[in-house]
Amino acid sequence: MASATKLRDDLAALRIDRSLRTQQSGSGKWFALAVIALLAAIAGGGYYLLSERLAGPLAVKVDTVRLVSLGQINTVLTATGYLESRQQAAVGAKAPGRVARVLVEEGDKVHAGDLLAELGHSDLDAMLASKTAQVRYAEAVAAEAKRQAAQKERDFAREQSLFDKKAGTQAALETAETDFHTAAARAEALSANVAVAQAQVREAEEAIANLKVIAPFAGTVVTKDAEVGETIMPGGMGLASGRGSVATLANLDQLEVDTDVKEDYLGQLEKGQPAEVSVDAVPDRRYQGRLREIIPMGDRTRGIVKVKVTIVDPDEHLFPDLGATVHFQPAKSERAVDADQKRMYLPLSAVVTKDGRDFVWRLEKDHVVQAHVTTSGEPKDGLIRVDGSVKGGDRIVVDPPAELINGARVRILE
């Protein structure tokens, strides 16, 4: 009996509590759902990161917001060329010789008639001294001959008086007359010798002057072409070491752009037409220009015509051979009062319109942000004027992809 009772107790201990199992299974279900959700989130994030890594950032084309003056936007034709001075000369001596001294350096301003350099002329100095002495000798001899001629004239007058009074002879009168005329002729010849000697002096002086390099006009020394000791040959026709000039002089107040224009565009140009000139060396300024001359000679091989544009307001930053771009303005229109004031322009292809509002995608480091803008005016050469939350120099996306979103990472196409 006792054994049976003990057996029942053991079997009861082995029985499963159904209520406890039901309670545990409910909490486990929710735990499993939470784990599944977490795994799904991790898997989704991993897939997003993996897909982004595989696909990479969106590739976009980028341009910039430009600050453009009204004069620039009204340009009808653009041409490139180089600055030159209307009054420019490589100045040298008239005669060959060796440079004895140079009195100027690059950048010096000179006046017409200023001495720029001088060639050696010690031999000519000696010749000039000799010729000058000959002049003094000839003048002295001529003066003595004049005094003798004057004396012979008085002797002739005295013999004439005696002859008139029947006190003199015909022979004496004729001798006195001959002596007078001979002395007068000799005096005249010696006076001519003085003139010859003086001409020789002037010749020597001119030869020395030809060895002096004189500024033909007021201007600026743009290049120093020779140094002391070098040989100068007129026209540069000397030896390989010889030079033709000592310095190059230019009038920087008369600068112009020498540019070429295609024959097809000549109909858009006329003399006196206004223009703006931008110079590569002075990027922050636009100079005012005017079309001075259309050279009446074409280039059949290149199909171009040379055009000269005078710069109206040159300054100290400009000098010959600088690269320049000429922006020709409409010939018939008056220049706007605020033509120099700058406005913001950007490519029309960068503007996106959505829900009645315009915006552009502005690039910030490696991602884009939406920047609202307001457009105005008509597009010109693919550019439209804007105002808004952009500034000059900002990089913007052109032809933006439809899938572009705010904050999206992008890669710039080269």
Q: Using CA atoms in the order 352, 356, 362, 364, what is the torsion angle rounded to 10 degrees? A: -130
Are residue 364 and residue 374 in the same domain, yes or no? yes
Q: What is the DSSP letter of 217?
A: S
d(CA 205, CA 202): 5
Is residue 3 assigned to a domain?
Answer: no
Residue partners of 120: CB distance under 8 A and separation at least 6: 97, 98, 99, 100, 211
Say if residue 144 is in the same domain as residue 38: no
pLDDT (0 to 100) of residue 30? 60
Q: Which two tokens stand for residue 366?
A: 């490696």
Regarding whether 225 and 293 lie in a shared domain, the answer is yes
With b for 16 or more beta-carbon neighbours within 10 A and e for fewer, the 324-345 pattern comes to bbbbbbeeeeeeeeebeeebbb
Is 87 inside a domain boundary?
yes
- pLDDT of res. 37: 60
Q: Give, in order, the Cα–Cα distances in Å from 129 to each of 132, 135, 386.
A: 5, 10, 81
- Look at residue 332 in the predicted model and tell me its pLDDT: 57
Q: Is residue 7 part of a domain?
A: no
Asked whether residue 186 falls in the same domain as residue 228, the answer is no
Whether 13 maps to a domain, the answer reads no
DSSP 349: G
The tokens for 195 are 């003139």
Q: Which two tokens stand for residue 37?
A: 């959700």
Question: Could you tell me if residue 135 is inside a domain?
Answer: yes
SS3 (DSSP) at 268? helix
Question: Could you tell me the two tokens for 46?
Answer: 């991993």
Domain CATH code at residue 222 = 2.40.30.170
pTM: 0.56
**Would you state the torsion angle of the CA atoms of residues 258, 261, 263, 267, taken in this order, to the nearest 10 degrees?**
-100
Residues 140 and 189 in one domain: yes
If asked whether residues 186 and 260 sit together in one domain, one would say no
62 and 46 both lie in a single domain: no
**32 and 155 share one domain:** no
**Nearest partner of 291 among 326, 243, 316, judged by Cα:** 326
Query: How high is the pLDDT of residue 240?
Result: 46
Minimal CA–CA distance to 220: which of 247, 245, 254, 249? 249
User: 255 and 356 share a domain?
Assistant: no
Residues 313 and 256 in one domain: yes
Q: Are residues 126 and 199 in the same domain?
A: yes
2 domain residue, yes or no: no
Domain boundary among 161, 185, 209: 209
Residue span of the structural domain in which 170 resides: 122-209
CB 70 within 8 A of CB 336: yes
Tell me, what CATH number does 352's domain have? 2.40.420.20
Q: Residue 77: what pLDDT?
A: 84
Residue with tokens 């009195």: 103
Which residues share a beta bridge with 344?
Answer: 67
In a 13 Å sphere around the CA of 293, the CA atoms on its Cβ side amount to 9
- 3-class secondary structure for 272-337? CCEEEEEECCEEEEEEEEEEEEEEEEEECCCCEEEEEEEECCCCCCCCCCCEEEEEECCCCCCCCC
CA distances from 318 to 248, 280, 290, 330, 400 (A): 16, 10, 16, 25, 42
Domains held by the chain: number: 4
- pLDDT at residue number 237: 46
Contacts of 289 (CB under 8 A, 6+ apart): 256, 257, 274, 275, 276, 277, 309, 310, 311, 312, 326
Calpha distance 39→88 (Å, rounded):
84
What DSSP state is assigned to residue 87? S
Is residue 319, in this structure, part of any structural domain at all? yes
My answer on whether 230 and 302 are in the same domain is: yes
Mean pLDDT by 10 residues, the chain (414 residues): 54 52 52 60 49 66 81 74 92 90 93 94 91 93 93 92 89 91 92 93 93 93 91 63 80 93 87 91 89 90 92 91 90 52 84 90 91 86 86 91 89 82
